[in-house]
Amino acid sequence: MDTKNRPPSPPQAISLREAFFYWLKLGFISFGGPAGQIAIMHQDLVEKKRWISEKRFLHALNYCMVLPGPEAQQLATYIGWLMHRTWGGIIAGGLFVLPSFFILVALAWIYMRFGSVPAVAGALYGIKPAVVAIVLFAAYRIGTRALKNVVLWGLAGLAFIAIFALKLPFPLIILGAGVIGWLGGRYAPNRFKAGSGHAASKATDGPALIDDDTPTPSHALFSKARFLHILMAGLGLWAFTMTVLILQYGWHGVYPQLGWFFTKAALLTFGGAYAVLPYVYQGAVEHYHWLTPVQMIDGLALGETTPGPLIMVVTFVGFVAGWAKQLFGPEGLFLSAVLAATVVTFFTFLPSFVFILLGGPFIETTHGNLKFTAPLTAITAAVVGVIFNLAVFFAWHVFWPSGWNGAIDWISIAMTTAALLALFRFKAGVIPLILACGTFGLAWRALM
């Protein structure tokens, strides 16, 4: 047999220890918002390591897209759970968040203690054009692989118009796409088959450890007892933590109110961080007065410079709230702030773990079932349009920082063009690109 043309073998089974160190690394390099983070995982897990096939990857991603919460973190949790059971999911999802938590706590302390971080502002000036390029590149990569006919491309275009021009809410767009997919699966099934273009990518990537036809592992099969166990564990953990906070500080105390408010925020984060930030701003700034409008904007800037989900900006909100309220006195500002940041982060991300561990077995039973996959295929198409809208949103704020009537930032346009060239022409990695652009931005601001 011609060994030169023989398809590669699937990778060997991955130990939990090996997976642990990958998820830890991912937690430190997951820049670029959800689109950039999904692009990193796709490149690593589908193309390089071949831990999971593209079809299974997109199937899991479709489910995470319709959930409230940070979809990239949930996708990591899902893949970790699929590979190594419940603890695998907890490790993958937890390590996706923890590095960002500690980095943001450190930056928030510098911000509150010393007043400003001009070096971060300079690095952010360079990172923002890179993020525009990364999001555009992610939309292109996902679009060319997932949109295999004119109907799906049309859905992506309609989703972009709906969110960009008509300002329709993201959940409504997802619901509409799902209905179209359900109808399409019944009346035009050939247009809504998931993974219709997977053969080409599989020939390039080779067979995966969790491939298209790999049987669902036993722990990922639905069990009523397991479902009830996860549900009671999630609700119990939430209730226990909230009860402890209420008994210690009273219902109207800062910590219980932070926990309650960010539980609600976690259940409203359809469409990613940018969809829920107005709600967080309204509650944290205008209603509770935990921080000022300027502090909220600075927190968003810091959140964009750190790895992890952008919704991690809530960690900054919690830190500032705890610092301002001085619950442990002037000598305990840092302890008060760290506890508040921990409370906010816990209540924001707990629902994400519960959703994945509860719903994963249902999703794993729908492979190849057009009744379920057609709506998810249509949702993927809509998400491509939404990601492109995010790129336009970033570009507008980066290229016209003072609005349409302000001056055009030609340096940012040039940096975005160079970043796109590096991604498309030279296949540059996301992390080297961000580091290079951040360094350039820091140097440029220092010379201005």
359 within a domain of the structure (yes/no): yes
What's the predicted TM-score (pTM) here? Answer: 0.73
Say which amino acid occupies 141.
Answer: R
Q: What is the DSSP secondary structure assignment for residue 3, as one 8-state letter?
A: G
Nearest to 307 by CA among 419, 431, 149: 431
Please give the full DSSP string across 300-352, using - where no structure is assigned. Answer: HHHHHHSSS-GGGHHHHHHHHHHHHHTTT-GGGHHHHHHHHHHHHHHHHHHHH
| Digitized pLDDT (tens) for each residue of the chain, 448 residues in all | 444 554 567 788 899 999 999 999 999 888 666 767 888 898 899 988 999 998 899 888 878 877 878 888 999 999 999 999 999 999 999 999 999 999 999 989 988 887 556 776 777 788 778 878 877 887 787 788 778 899 999 999 999 999 888 888 776 887 898 899 999 988 888 888 754 333 334 445 578 899 888 888 999 998 999 999 999 999 999 999 999 999 999 999 999 999 999 998 888 665 556 556 667 888 888 889 999 887 887 787 677 668 888 789 899 999 999 999 888 888 899 999 999 999 999 999 999 999 999 999 988 887 666 667 788 788 878 878 877 887 787 788 789 887 788 889 999 999 999 999 999 988 887 778 878 988 998 899 888 7
Would 71 be classed as within a structural domain? no
Specify burial of residue 330 (Cβ count, 10 A radius: 0-12, 13-18, 19+).
Answer: exposed
Q: How many CA atoms lie within 13 A of 406 on its CB side?
A: 11
The answer to whether residue 361 is domain-embedded is yes
Place of tokens 């359900």: 182
Residue 430 lies in a domain: yes
**Total domains present in the chain:** 1
**Cβ contact 104:302 at 8 Å:** yes
Q: What is the pLDDT of residue 122?
A: 79
Please give the Cα distance from 177 to 328 (Å, whole number): 50
Q: Does 159 map to a domain?
A: yes
258/315 Cα distance (integer angstroms): 11
pLDDT for res 62: 79
3-state secondary structure of 404: coil
Helices (H), 188-292: 198-205, 224-249, 254-266, 273-281
Residue 271 included in any domain:
yes
Residue 270 phi/psi, 5-degree rounding, is -70, 130
Q: Phi, psi (5° rounding) for residue 82?
A: -65, -35
Indicate whether 329 belongs to any domain.
yes
Structural domain range at position 260: 99-194+220-447
In a domain, 381, yes or no: yes
